[in-house]
Amino acid sequence: MVADNEELWKSICGAYRETIIHALFECKAAAEIWGHSGLMDQLADAPTESFAERWEWLHSRVESKVLLRMAALMWASWRCRNLWIFEGKEPDVVMLATGYCTLVQDYEEYATKVFKLSVQQVQGSSVVWKCPPLGCIKANVDAYVPSAGSAGLGVVFRDDKGCLIMTATKRVELSNPECVEAQAVRYALRLALRFGYINLWVESDAINMIKAISYHDGGLSPIDLVYDDIRVDRASFNVCLFSHAKRSCNTVAHLIARDDTGGNAEYIRFSNFPQIIVTLSGMDLSS
């Protein structure tokens, strides 16, 4: 089997011995990819005997973004080699390499948004309710966790003047309080995306949950999965802030979480808000 592979390799570019460096940098497809990359000068003095040595050498001398691009080109070179040997195909190597570089760049941008929450995205605790900045919607959230039955999620959207835009109540399966509080945040994010709001400030009176959003390390429990959803959904916004507020600043969401959904899983209002909600919302602005 090894001899057959070596003969097949010889028929591609005439090489008598397949090495990792040959496959990723020197073979027919790889040479064409690197020839169009504009990175050949950075490989001029790189080790040639061991790929591990070459990688360590590159890692110590090349900027991280350039190294990511190089890794994408190596990946593309290996893919071209396998297409030739195992599928008998001759791809457009430059287009294939460009696609791999784009894929890596897109993932890097996605991962930066999803996995690297900056400290500026988490605000400190508030003792008074504050209007969001111009162009941003504020979502106050709360959870209702009874001793039996279903739990309730409450979300209140208000604009930069503090005016009510929407209230929403959703019934979910009863769980521990922190998990339901996290579901309320996730519900707010998904409501905002559903109705086209891309600049969002989410506020909750559950301080441990707000901290967990910032420093969550992952896991497989139900609440870990909710935090993972929040992290992914957050990447869809231009701005997505999280903050903690005292219960006195979150009374409207507190009531909405306990609202009657009329037997439905979800109840959303855009107008005709109950007088108690209008009154409490006005008190927030006067405090």
For strand 239-244 and strand 199-204, is the pairing parallel, antiparallel, or unpaired?
Answer: parallel
Q: How many domains does the chain have?
A: 2
Please determine, for residue 124, whether its predicted confidence score (pLDDT) is greater than 80. Answer: no
Residues 27-52: what's their mean pLDDT?
A: 91
Determine phi and psi for 157, rounding to 5 degrees: -100, 130
**pLDDT range class, residue 111, cuts 50, 70, 90:** low
Q: How far apart are CA 78 and CA 65, in angstroms?
A: 20
84 and 167 belong to one structural domain:
no
7 and 130 belong to one structural domain:
no
Would you say 133 and 160 are in contact if contact means Cβ atoms under 8 Å apart? Answer: yes
Domain boundary (115, 139, 163) is at 115
147 and 270 belong to one structural domain:
yes
Please determine, for residue 5, whether its predicted confidence score (pLDDT) is greater than 50. Answer: no
Domain boundary (115, 130, 149) is at 115
Q: 3-class SS at 222?
A: helix
The set of residues, in sequence order, having a beta carbon less than 8 Å from that of 238 and lying 6+ positions away, is 198, 199
The set of residues, in sequence order, having a beta carbon less than 8 Å from that of 65 and lying 6+ positions away, is none
Question: What's the confidence (pLDDT) of residue 162?
Answer: 95
179 and 138 belong to one structural domain:
yes
CATH for 139: 3.30.420.10
> In which domain, by residue range, is 261 found?
119-286
**pLDDT range class, residue 7, cuts 50, 70, 90:** very low
Residues found in the chain: 287
Question: pLDDT digit string (tens) for 192-224?
Answer: 999 999 999 999 999 888 888 877 666 667 888
Domain boundary (115, 137, 153) is at 115
132 and 163 belong to one structural domain:
yes
